[in-house]
């Protein structure tokens, strides 16, 4: 399965936005945060969920695939980089293609911005800034074995379904054990696609 | 300069090689340690000359380790996580953004002065401001007596400075009126711990949480107030520990708890008595432990017999079955711990609430063992250390009592004064304000506090301060309280001086200096020593810096329960923190108390105390049927004087709100007037099912006209004198418009922080505050 990557555990998220502040401090896009923090059931619950770039593997990075300027590099270790500023034309194709809603466009600069897994840190064996500071471990950086050693029995999913498209990702999400076999949108099992039982 | 050399002007150990948390970088990974420290190219150190100075966060009682990033010009410009024992790299948003206040444009850089409150502030020279202050102190004390001048300190100060506050009041001002804002924080827990155990601190280190099988969190919104502690809670849960949360709101921690008891504010004592009732009734008490180690058990047993679950369920507004469940889970666990915070301490029976929790831990034998015990989570960075060395109205250094003749003699000997010169016990912070209102205290110096936002019943506080003939304030931003003063002394931030703080575990940690203060700024130590010199007490205040003060503090604490004698700056730098008592320089410190079954009472026993529940001080009526409770939000710290100036934190939570249950018929963002017997204010509604229908909640970090503390009651616990912030009677009604959030005050010629580009009239924050429901996005 995946090597060192980010694991997202929404069950642990306390919505504190430490990841958002930390992302802003990362040197690769200092001053801007590339993390989304969503509140999933406003008015009903305090549940929240951080979203980083999922670093899609299959199909390989839809954002990179649709980029007309070939500005989005996918590294050998599967990290989908933020658009190369010398190539990006700010067309927003990547924004439209991303199934997770991750890339942003700086409209004034006409440049794309997105999480690049803190390449400035991970290249030196450090965890990305968000996963380093996350006070609860809702964002964990490491291998699946390291995660499971720390959290016995934890199960993760790295494929998600959007309509009839299944996307496998480099970043994984912690899900309840009984739901891990199927691709999950946001942690829920998919039982049917276009009327076909996919279990 | 290389990356491992100390930053310019830094004292202490300077930067140290970073070791990575093994959980995120296992052996074999290329990391800082493999590279022999911070790799030279990691932050382009060759070009930038960046250094990392190890220190701790300035905010809450967790005291996370962090590095401050310092540029080659010697200026703090960023933060880097630090693998300290306490936080293992983790930081919350306040910690990540804290560095931004060090070189913030709102910093005060010259003393501000005015001769009357009718005048505008003008910048003055240090000599002029100090001389004016001294002449006012003399005038007031000559005319009205020594005790007509008061001093209010703060629990965000280093322990050295809190020691100096106490000494300055008693020796230089010779007044009995000294107290501190920790009085608003955890003195109820302190009082309860001293009554039961004879020692005023948590019984266990945070790391014991990981060893526990059952965690009971009472009145503590851990996820927002102490976010980094959640990693310990989740760590325990990974091992299968159960989590019980007692809170009227469904907080982020309560959401995932095994049992969430959403009890009515102000009913904690009844609840815990009922839990103990079940423990006794079901034979779950550890009678052998009680017989050997505790006194007062029979009386407690008799009292809790009067609290059957059915009765408590009615008082607390929770199902009786939950009470039984809590008793069985807590008592039945092999090792259980209870942690509490302001939710049960901010009450007119705050001490008693804490005592009922202690009674439960002791009765079930969950005390003095790895993974079993109790703790209180301090709100301020030095909430623990801030009261240990004589800043509190009734305490002398080392936690000695100011009314105990032997203790007085010991301190007078160390200070070199006659016992007749040492004043007696003064009054608490809120009582001092009442005395100002009555004209009994005519002058006041405030250091590191902001009572205009943080004290209850704002109208009374304002009147008290307005009545005072002279008021000086030490601060690095112009707080709402400083804006009322005659003199404001610009002092250093935590990054510009060195000193120690004791965190919620009573672990003493050292903060290091990362940069020189801006021109015109002095340390609090310098200002106090200079005032003392001008008052004629200079020989008692010959302290060039924190290091010298700490040496005297160590000696002054030697032989007491709060023994710091064995703690030195060098040892703190080597170890990353030492828990007191630490009586000798080869003593390892005491992370866990009572392992030998003995407490700090002369008989070595735990003194269990009988507690009867009584209702909150503000009675409910038809006119005021709801409970108003207050608390924090994750983005802001206390009175907000610091965090309301930091762009990212303002963006995260730009304004307060009132949390109401959907049953009241409001929609998100509706203007809702909250009325109590002290006044009324209008907030946007945050409609959520995560709060009891009979309770409303307002976060308290803002000043009037959006101040929760304009509405709260200034009733005090008779023992700890802590105000009853967490419950008062209120009603809510529809309003026409929402009160605007005021900008923080700034000094003449200063400007608001340019990154704070948030509309302060937004009906609700752009993202949901603290993870709760927000306005419809349309």
Q: Which of helix, strand or coil describes residue B714?
A: coil
- Considering only CB atoms, which chain A residues are within 8 Å of B255? 45-47
**Calpha distance B258→B332 (Å, rounded):** 15
CB contact under 8 A, B652 and A131: no
* Number of helices (H), then strands (E), in chain A: 6, 11
Q: Which of helix, strand or coil describes residue B500?
A: strand
My answer on whether B304 and B406 are in the same domain is no
Nearest to A117 by CA among A32, A50, A54: A54
Q: Mind listing the pLDDT tens digit for each residue in B210-233? A: 999 999 999 999 999 999 999 999
**8 A C-beta contact, residue A172 and residue A84:** no
Instruction: Return the C-alpha torsion angle B746, B751, B755, B758, nearest 10.
Output: 60
Q: What is the CATH number of the domain that holds B65?
A: 2.20.25.90
Q: Mind listing the pLDDT tens digit for each residue in B636-663? A: 999 999 999 999 999 999 999 999 999 9
Give a yes or no: residue B612 inside a domain. Answer: no
Work out the minimum CA distance from A32 to partner chain B, whole angstroms.
Answer: 10
**Residue B387 to residues B339, B406, B506, B639, Cα–Cα distance (Å):** 20, 20, 12, 20
Give the phi and the psi of residue B363 in degrees, each rounded to 5: -65, -30
Query: Where is average pLDDT lowest: B40-44, B331-335, B535-539?
Result: B40-44
Report pLDDT for A192: 55
Give a yes or no: residue A183 inside a domain. Answer: no
**Calpha distance A38→B496 (Å, rounded):** 37
Say whether residue A44 is in contact with chain B using an 8 A CB cutoff.
Answer: yes
**8 A C-beta contact, residue B471 and residue B113:** no
CB contact under 8 A, B634 and A150: no
**Calpha distance B64→B509 (Å, rounded):** 10
Label the pairing between strands B149-153 and B178-180: parallel
My answer on whether B541 and B399 are in the same domain is yes
Q: Mind listing the pLDDT tens digit for each residue in B454-463? A: 999 999 999 9
- Considering only CB atoms, which chain A residues are within 8 Å of B91? 18, 22, 133, 135
CB contact under 8 A, A137 and B30: no
Give a yes or no: residue B734 inside a domain. Answer: yes
**Calpha distance B376→B204 (Å, rounded):** 10
Report pLDDT for B641: 95
CB contact under 8 A, B91 and A25: no
**Structural element, H or E, at residue A122:** helix A119-122
Give a yes or no: residue A111 inside a domain. Answer: yes
Report pLDDT for B50: 80
**Calpha distance B401→B79 (Å, rounded):** 41
Listed residues B314, B349, B376: the one ending a domain:
B376
Q: Which residue of chain B is at minimal alpha-carbon distance from A42?
A: B773
Q: Which residue of chain A is at minimal alpha-carbon distance from B662?
A: A43
ipTM above 0.85, yes or no: yes
Give a yes or no: residue B630 inside a domain. Answer: yes
My answer on whether B705 and B726 are in the same domain is yes
End-to-end, the C-alpha distance of chain B in Å comes to 54
Structure tokens at B346: 């901010």
CB contact under 8 A, A14 and B227: yes
Q: How many domains does chain B have?
A: 4
A-B interface: how many C-beta pairs under 8 angstroms?
162
My answer on whether B340 and B454 are in the same domain is no
Work out the pLDDT band at B635, boundaries 50, 70, 90.
very high
Identify any residues that bridge with B337 across adjacent strands, giving them in sequence order: B215, B373
Q: Which residue of chain A is at minimal alpha-carbon distance from B666?
A: A43
My answer on whether B223 and B320 are in the same domain is yes
Across the interface, of A12, A46, A142, the residue whose CB is closest to B23 is A142
My answer on whether B765 and B647 are in the same domain is yes
Residues in chain A predicted with pLDDT less than 70, given as ranges, are 1-2, 178-199
Identify any residues that bridge with B716 across adjacent strands, giving them in sequence order: B723
Give a yes or no: residue B613 inside a domain. Answer: no
Overall average pLDDT of the B329-352 stretch: 97
CB contact under 8 A, A125 and B29: yes
- Considering only CB atoms, which chain A residues are within 8 Å of B20? 125-126
Q: Mind listing the pLDDT tens digit for each residue in B23-82? A: 333 333 333 333 333 443 344 333 457 889 999 999 999 999 999 999 889 999 999 999
Nearest to B711 by CA among B632, B616, B615, B618: B618
Listed residues B333, B352, B376: the one ending a domain:
B376
Give a yes or no: residue B520 inside a domain. Answer: yes
Work out the pLDDT band at B16, boundaries 50, 70, 90.
very low
Report pLDDT for A65: 94
Strands (E), B138-219: 149-153, 178-180, 214-218
Say whether residue A101 is in contact with chain B using an 8 A CB cutoff.
Answer: no
**Calpha distance B666→B5 (Å, rounded):** 59
**8 A C-beta contact, residue A54 and residue A171:** yes
Q: What is the CATH number of the domain that holds A27?
A: 3.30.70.20
My answer on whether B420 and B481 are in the same domain is yes
Q: Mind listing the pLDDT tens digit for each residue in B172-186? A: 999 999 999 999 998
Radius of gyration of chain B (CA): 25
Domain that residue B364 falls in: 186-376
Q: Give percent above pLDDT 70 in chain B.
A: 90
Report pLDDT for A122: 82
CB contact under 8 A, A125 and B26: no
- Considering only CB atoms, which chain A residues are within 8 Å of B23? 142, 146, 150
Q: Mind listing the pLDDT tens digit for each residue in B680-713? A: 999 999 999 999 999 999 999 999 999 999 999 9
Say whether residue A141 is in contact with chain B using an 8 A CB cutoff.
Answer: yes
Give a yes or no: residue B427 inside a domain. Answer: yes
Q: Is the pLDDT of residue B123 over 90?
A: yes
CB contact under 8 A, B24 and A42: no
Q: How many C-beta neighbours within 10 Å does residue A94 have?
A: 27
CB contact under 8 A, B90 and A16: no
Half-sphere exposure (Cβ direction) of A193: Cα atoms closer than 13 Å:
15
| pLDDT, chain B, mean | 90
Give a yes or no: residue B681 inside a domain. Answer: yes
Say whether residue A11 is in contact with chain B using an 8 A CB cutoff.
Answer: yes
**8 A C-beta contact, residue B735 and residue B672:** yes
Q: Which residue of chain B is at minimal alpha-carbon distance from A13?
A: B252
CB contact under 8 A, A12 and B770: no
Tell me which residues of chain A, numbers 106 to 135, contact chain B at a CB-CB cutoff of 8 Å: 124-127, 129, 131-135
Q: What is the DSSP letter of B84?
A: -
Label the pairing between strands B507-511 and B578-579: antiparallel
Q: Is the pLDDT of residue B471 over 80?
A: yes
Report pLDDT for A28: 77
CB contact under 8 A, B648 and A21: yes
Residue in the block written with tokens 């007085």? B408
Overall average pLDDT of the B506-522 stretch: 96
CB contact under 8 A, B24 and A124: no
Give a yes or no: residue B36 inside a domain. Answer: no
Q: Mind listing the pLDDT tens digit for each residue in B427-451? A: 999 999 999 999 999 999 999 999 9
Give a yes or no: residue A197 inside a domain. Answer: no
**8 A C-beta contact, residue A170 and residue A56:** yes
Work out the pLDDT band at B510, boundaries 50, 70, 90.
very high
Q: Which residue has the higher pLDDT, B527 or A77?
A: B527
**Residue B120 to residues B461, B465, B480, B749, Cα–Cα distance (Å):** 21, 17, 15, 12
Across the interface, of A16, A137, A142, the residue whose CB is closest to B93 is A16
- Considering only CB atoms, which chain B residues are within 8 Å of A11? 256
Work out the pLDDT band at B672, boundaries 50, 70, 90.
very high
DSSP B420-462: GGS------HHHHHHHHHTTS--EEEEES--HHHHSSSHHHHH
**Calpha distance B462→B459 (Å, rounded):** 5
**Residue A196 to residues A89, A166, A182, Cα–Cα distance (Å):** 41, 14, 14
CB contact under 8 A, A136 and B648: no
My answer on whether B395 and B405 are in the same domain is yes
Q: Mind listing the pLDDT tens digit for each residue in B252-275? A: 999 889 999 999 999 999 999 999
Give a yes or no: residue A40 inside a domain. Answer: yes
My answer on whether B128 and B251 are in the same domain is no
My answer on whether B77 and B161 are in the same domain is no
**8 A C-beta contact, residue B383 and residue B389:** no
My answer on whether B448 and B495 are in the same domain is yes
Work out the minimum CA distance from B545 to partner chain A, whole angstroms.
Answer: 33
3-state secondary structure B334-355: CCEEEEECHHHHCCCCHHHHHH
CB contact under 8 A, A15 and B252: yes
Q: Which of helix, strand or coil describes residue A168?
A: strand
Query: Where is average pLDDT lowest: A110-124, B286-300, B406-420, B694-708?
Result: A110-124
Report pLDDT for B516: 97
Overall average pLDDT of the B127-152 stretch: 98
Query: What is chain B's length?
Result: 778
My answer on whether B156 and B90 are in the same domain is no
Give a yes or no: residue A148 inside a domain. Answer: no
Across the interface, of A11, A46, A131, the residue whose CB is closest to B250 is A46
End-to-end, the C-alpha distance of chain A in Å comes to 21
Q: Residue B438: is it exposed, middle or buried by C-beta count within 10 angstroms (0-12/13-18/19+)?
A: exposed
Work out the pLDDT band at B333, boundaries 50, 70, 90.
very high
Identify any residues that bridge with B243 across adjacent strands, giving them in sequence order: B215
DSSP B251-281: -HHHHT-SEEE-PPTT-HHHHHHHHHHHHHH
- Considering only CB atoms, which chain B residues are within 8 Å of A44? 688-690, 773
Structure tokens at B730: 């209120």
Tell me which residues of chain A, numbers 20 to 39, contact chain B at a CB-CB cutoff of 8 Å: 20-22, 24-25, 27, 37, 39
Q: How many domains does chain A have?
A: 1
**Calpha distance A4→A119 (Å, rounded):** 12
Give a yes or no: residue A195 inside a domain. Answer: no
Domain that residue A32 falls in: 5-142
Across the interface, of B234, B251, B662, the residue whose CB is closest to A12 is B234
Q: What is the CATH number of the domain that holds B265?
A: 3.40.228.10
Nearest to B700 by CA among B710, B691, B692, B690: B710
Report pLDDT for B778: 24
- Considering only CB atoms, which chain A residues are within 8 Å of B79? 25
Across the interface, of B30, B43, B97, the residue whose CB is closest to A21 is B97
């Amino acid at each position: 399965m995946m090597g060192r990557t980010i694991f997202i555990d929404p069950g642990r998220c306390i919505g504190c936005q430490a990841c958002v502040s930390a992302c802003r401090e990362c040197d690769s896009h200092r001053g801007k945060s590339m993390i989304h923090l969503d509140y999933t059931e406003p008015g009903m619950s305090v549940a929240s969920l951080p979203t980083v770039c999922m670093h899609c593997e299959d199909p390989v990075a839809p954002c990179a695939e649709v980029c007309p300027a070939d500005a989005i590099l996918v590294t050998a270790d599967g990290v989908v980089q933020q658009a190369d500023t010398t190539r990006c034309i700010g067309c927003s194709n990547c924004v439209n293609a991303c199934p997770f809603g991750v890339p942003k466009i700086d409209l004034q600069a006409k440049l794309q911005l997105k999480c690049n897994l803190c390449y400035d840190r991970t290249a030196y064996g450090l965890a990305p800034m968000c996963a380093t500071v996350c006070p609860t471990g809702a964002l964990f950086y490491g291998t699946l074995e390291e995660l499971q050693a720390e959290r016995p029995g934890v199960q993760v999913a790295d494929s998600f379904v959007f309509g009839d498209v299944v996307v496998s990702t480099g970043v994984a999400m912690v899900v309840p054990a009984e739901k891990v076999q199927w691709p999950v949108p946001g942690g829920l099992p998919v039982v049917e696609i276009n009327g076909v039982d996919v279990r | 300069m290389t990356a491992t050399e100390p930053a310019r002007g830094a004292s202490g150990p300077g930067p140290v090689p970073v070791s990575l948390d093994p959980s995120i970088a296992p052996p074999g990974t290329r990391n800082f340690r493999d590279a022999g420290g911070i790799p030279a190219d990691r932050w382009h150190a060759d070009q930038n000359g960046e250094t990392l100075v190890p220190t701790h966060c300035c905010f809450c009682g967790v005291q996370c380790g962090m590095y401050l990033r310092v540029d080659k010009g010697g200026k703090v410009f960023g933060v880097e996580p630090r693998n300290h024992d306490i936080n293992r790299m983790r930081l919350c948003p306040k910690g990540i953004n804290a560095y931004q206040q060090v070189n913030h444009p709102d910093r005060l850089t010259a003393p501000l002065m005015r001769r009357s409150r009718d005048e505008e502030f003008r910048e003055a020279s240090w000599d002029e401001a100090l001389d004016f202050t001294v002449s006012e102190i003399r005038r007031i004390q000559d005319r009205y007596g020594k005790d007509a001048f008061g001093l209010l300190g703060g629990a965000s100060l280093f322990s050295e400075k809190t020691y100096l506050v106490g000494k300055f009041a008693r020796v230089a001002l010779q007044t009995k009126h000294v107290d501190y804002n920790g009085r608003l924080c955890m003195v109820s827990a302190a009082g309860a711990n001293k009554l039961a155990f004879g020692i005023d601190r948590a019984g266990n280190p945070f790391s014991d949480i990981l060893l526990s099988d059952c965690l009971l969190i009472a009145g503590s919104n851990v996820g927002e107030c102490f976010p980094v502690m959640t990693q310990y809670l989740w760590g325990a849960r990974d091992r299968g520990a159960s989590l019980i949360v007692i809170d009227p709101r469904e907080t982020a921690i309560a959401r995932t708890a095994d049992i969430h008891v959403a009890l009515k504010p102000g009913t904690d004592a009844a609840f815990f008595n009922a839990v103990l009732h079940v423990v006794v009734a079901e034979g779950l008490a550890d009678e052998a432990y009680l017989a050997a180690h505790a006194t007062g058990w029979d009386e407690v047993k008799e009292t809790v017999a009067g609290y059957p679950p059915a009765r408590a369920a009615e008082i607390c507004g929770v199902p009786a079955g939950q009470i039984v469940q809590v008793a069985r889970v807590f008592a039945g666990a092999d090792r259980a711990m209870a942690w509490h915070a302001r939710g049960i301490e901010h009450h007119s029976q705050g001490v008693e609430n804490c005592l009922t929790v202690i009674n439960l831990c002791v009765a079930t034998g969950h005390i003095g063992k790895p993974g079993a015990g109790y703790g209180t989570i301090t709100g301020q960075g030095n909430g623990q250390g801030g009261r240990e060395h004589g800043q509190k109205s009734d305490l002398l250094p080392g936690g000695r009592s100011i009314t105990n003749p032997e203790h007085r003699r010991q301190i007078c000997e160390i200070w070199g004064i006659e016992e007749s010169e040492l004043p007696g016990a003064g009054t608490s912070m809120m009582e001092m304000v009442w005395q100002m209102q009555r004209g009994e205290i005519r002058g006041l110096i405030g250091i590191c506090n902001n009572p205009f936002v943080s004290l209850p019943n704002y109208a009374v506080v304002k009147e008290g301060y307005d009545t005072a003939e002279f008021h000086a304030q030490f601060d690095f931003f112009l707080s709402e309280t400083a804006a009322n003063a005659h003199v404001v002394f610009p002092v250093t931030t935590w990054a510009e001086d060195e000193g120690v703080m004791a965190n919620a575990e009573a672990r003493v940690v050292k903060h290091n200096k990362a940069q020189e203060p801006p021109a015109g700024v002095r340390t609090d130590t310098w200002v106090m020593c200079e005032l003392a010199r001008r008052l004629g007490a200079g020989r008692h205040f010959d302290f060039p810096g924190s290091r010298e003060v700490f040496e005297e503090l160590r000696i002054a604490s030697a032989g007491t329960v709060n023994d710091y004698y064995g703690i030195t700056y060098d040892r703190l730098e080597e170890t990353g923190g030492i828990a007191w008592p630490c009586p000798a320089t080869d003593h390892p410190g005491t992370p866990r108390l009572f392992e030998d079954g003995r407490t700090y009472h002369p008989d070595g026993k735990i003194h269990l105390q009988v507690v009867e529940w009584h209702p909150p001080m503000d009675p409910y009526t038809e006119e005021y049927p709801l409970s108003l409770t207050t608390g924090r939000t994750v983005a802001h710290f206390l009175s907000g004087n610091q965090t309301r100036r930091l762009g990212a934190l303002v963006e995260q939570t730009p304004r307060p709100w009132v949390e109401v249950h959907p049953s009241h018929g409001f929609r998100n963002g509706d203007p809702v007037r909250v009325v109590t017997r002290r006044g009324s204010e209008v907030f946007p509604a945050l409609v959520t099912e995560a709060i009891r229908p009979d309770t409303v909640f307002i976060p308290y970090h803002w000043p009037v006209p959006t101040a929760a503390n304009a509405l709260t009651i200034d009733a005090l616990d008779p023992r700890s004198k802590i105000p009853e912030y967490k419950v008062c009677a209120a009603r809510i009604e529809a309003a026409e418009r929402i009160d605007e959030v005021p900008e923080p005050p700034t000094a003449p010629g200063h400007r608001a922080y340019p990154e704070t580009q948030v509309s302060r009239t937004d009906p609700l924050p752009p993202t949901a505050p603290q993870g709760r429901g927000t306005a419809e996005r349309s």
